[in-house]
Amino acid sequence: MIRDNYLDISRITADPGVLKIFKIIRGYGGVVRFVGGAVRDALAGLKAANIDLSTDLSPDELAEACEEAGIRTAPIGLKIDTLGVAVGGTLLEISSLKKQVKGGNGRTEVEFTDNWEEDASRRDLTINAVYADENGNVFDYYNGIEDLENGIIRFIGDANRQIREDYVRILRFFRFYSLFGKAPADAKALKACRDNLNGLKNLPVERIRDELVKILLTPKAAQTLKLMFENDILGYWLTDPPCFDELEKLIRLEEKHGFAPDPVRRLFALFRPDKTLAENIAVRLKFPKNQKENLIRLAEAEGGDGDFSSAAKLKQAVYRLGKDVCLSLLLLRDAANRGGKIDPDEAVRAVRNATVPVFPVSGKDIIRHGITGNAKIGAAREYLEQVWVDSGFELTRDELLANAPEVQAGCVVVPKTVAE
């Protein structure tokens, strides 16, 4: 179905370099259109995050057309059908149209085509199979626009075939349901996801993790993850009973206080892990180092330095843990109705406005008092730091050194575990 002048292309891009590509390909005798997420997001009133194009030119023809116009191209990873083209301030991925054919060995293979509907049939979901040209004319072969308007997320054609082409489409279904779908979810799609669940074990864990993180970042993450759990999808990797209600409340609190979505904080709300479980989850999903460390820090703080029982304790926690960890813990405890005696809203404001104290005594200061050796210097620093913290961070450098006779005398008692 063609809808003339249906889409305001400025929602996708205003970069003249991008529109120049249309002119170049058309001058070579080809056709090029926006496709996928860029069109879907523009139709939904969102800003397009990435711009993908499709053309009826083969990769060789596309490369030649760009070369004649003085534009360099490069293959995208291992994709033989897609070229990267840098124009203006935008990196474009331009794919040649493809269709599915049966190979001699009975396996499904692809070959290039000039038929747009054949290319659309290979895409996973109807909402991702809508094309648009530079004039705003929209080409919708599988009622993707209507599905998007009605919150229907469904596979194109045979859902089982679509999933078996790439099992990550199971997770993509739930991600786009979380972003654009309305309950109830498509029954045929859910059944196909359940029936093909074992195919996920052949996927790299990183692809699974990336999709789960994207789901966690959506406003309806709690409802979607609950749907996944009810259909045996979530338990495939994360078997511990999730706290969906706490996650839903956390998301509302993030919105209330103006916090950006944080997948680590949201995952913590879902499972409330201790340090051992946090490490287990991070290893199981192969989290990057920073996310792994953040998840473990939250678990450690929840069982250790995260004491917010008074204004003084809150100030100490900010110093020990940092503002980000404290803010996350405050939201998490509020979401779990474990805020204690403090007013959670006032605590959040206090931490946001807090200045993290800086310990005023250096190692050189300690050495000047006659203390040498790394173990003794470390023990002296630890002693003085605790004195400073207990003072409410009020004591100055000179006051700390003057009021610490153990340091002045050079006879700090080094803890046995440190000395050894």
Domain regions of the chain by residue span: 1-150, 269-353, 363-419
> 131 pairs with which residues across the strands?
35, 139
Taking a C-beta distance cutoff of 8 angstroms, is the pair 325, 308 a contact?
no
pLDDT at 49 over 90: no
Q: Compute and round to an integer the Cα radius of gyration of the chain.
A: 29
Q: Each residue of 215-259: pLDDT tens digit?
A: 999 999 999 999 999 999 987 677 667 899 999 999 999 999 999
State the average pLDDT over residues 114-128.
Answer: 95
Strand pairing report for 52-55 and 90-96: parallel
* Confidence at residue 416, expressed as pLDDT on a 0 to 100 scale: 42
- Dihedral sign (CA 266, 267, 268, 272): positive
Using left for φ > 0, alpha for ψ between -120 and 50, and beta otherwise, residue 396 falls in beta
Q: Quote the pLDDT of residue 411.
A: 52
pLDDT band at 76 (very low <50, low <70, confident <90, very high): confident
* Count of beta carbons in the 10 Å neighbourhood of residue 196: 17
DSSP class per residue in 151-175: T---BSS-HHHHHHH-TTHHHHHHH
Question: Taking the complete model, does pTM exceed 0.75, yes or no?
Answer: yes
Q: Which residues of 376-389 are buried (b: 16+ CB within 10 A; e: fewer)?
A: bbbbbbebbeebbb
Encoded tokens for 247: 């996650």
Kindly state which CATH superfamily the domain 1-150 is placed in: Beta Polymerase, domain 2 (3.30.460.10)
d(CA 135, CA 148): 21
- pLDDT at 239 (0 to 100): 67
Residue 170: half-sphere exposure toward Cβ, Cα within 13 Å: 28
C-alpha span between 363 and 380 (Å, rounded): 9
| 407 — pLDDT class (breaks 50, 70, 90) | low
d(CA 12, CA 130): 13
| Spatial CB neighbours of 91, under 8 Å, sequence gap ≥ 6 | 84, 85
For 11, 114, 181, the CA distances from 63, given in Å and listed in that order, are 27, 17, 38
Reference 399, options 410, 412, 388; nearest CA is 388
CB-CB contact of 87 with 97 (8 Å):
no
